[in-house]
Amino acid sequence: MMMAGLRERKKEQTRRRIAEVALRLFDERGYDAVTVNEVAEAAGVAKVTLFSYFPTKECLVTDGVKDDLAAVVAAGRRDGRAPLDALRAHFLSMAAQGTGEMDVEALLAKVRVIASSPALIGALQAVRMSERHELAAALAGAPGPDGEGAAPGDGGDLAAQLMAAQITAVIGTLQEAFFQRVAGGAGLEEAGRRLADDVELGFALLEHGFSHIKGENS
């Protein structure tokens, strides 16, 4: 068991090193100007090893950006929680955990690299589409291969698809607002605190729509 744990730690260290080196090179020289061979050489691994961790060049940047919203909804269902309640609690918990260990420079570098590359923007959109389809399947209660929701494309009925589209749009907007604050020089403590307020607002709008705004302004 100890050896297995050591192997897993080494694998995670290698994975992290490859991703960090790739992001640094992409940020310095541009995504399209850097080859996978150059990333592998700079990270001190063979190309085949790199691809064992990251199946495509795009994955070097987009890996880890997907939120498993379907899993949050499925877990909430098992606990008797409504989907919006489960998702709201999940993101409030993330905001409450704080951002003290966040690597701000790496975060901003990733945003810069993605924004500067049409290929990565397309890859990110594909990730978000997959995320939305999986969430729709979970909202519709459709079983998937792992029992947690249908595979992408099996989004369930139209109501579930519309709900998933609204939820993912709100979450994406909340994330963008957080990134913009950090990029604008806001401290992590302040950005995290405001994120919690934003989550409350976003999910209130999802639950009550424009009537929430009217109610607050009346």
Sequential DSSP letters for the chain: -HHHHHHHHHHHHHHHHHHHHHHHHHHHH-TTTS-HHHHHHHHTS-HHHHHHH-SSTTHHHHTT----HHHHHHHHHHTT--HHHHHHHHHHHHHHT-STT--HHHHHHHHHHHHT-HHHHHHHHHHHHHHHHHHHHHHHT---TTSSSPPTT---SHHHHHHHHHHHHHHHHHHHHHHHHHHTT--HHHHHHHHHHHHHHHHHHHHHTHHHHHHHH-
Co-location of 93 and 200 in the same domain:
yes
Query: Does the structure show a pLDDT above 90 at 40?
Result: yes
Co-location of 85 and 138 in the same domain:
yes
Q: Where a domain ends, among 42, 60, 78?
A: 60
Number of domains in the chain: 2
pTM for this predicted structure = 0.78
CATH number at residue 33: 1.10.10.60
Domain ranges, residue 20? 2-60
Co-location of 81 and 43 in the same domain:
no
Provide mean pLDDT across the span 10-39. Answer: 95
Write the pLDDT tens digit of every residue in 83-123: 999 999 999 888 876 555 667 788 889 989 999 999 999 99
Query: Does the structure show a pLDDT above 90 at 200?
Result: yes
Q: What mean pLDDT is reported for the chain?
A: 85
Co-location of 149 and 199 in the same domain:
yes
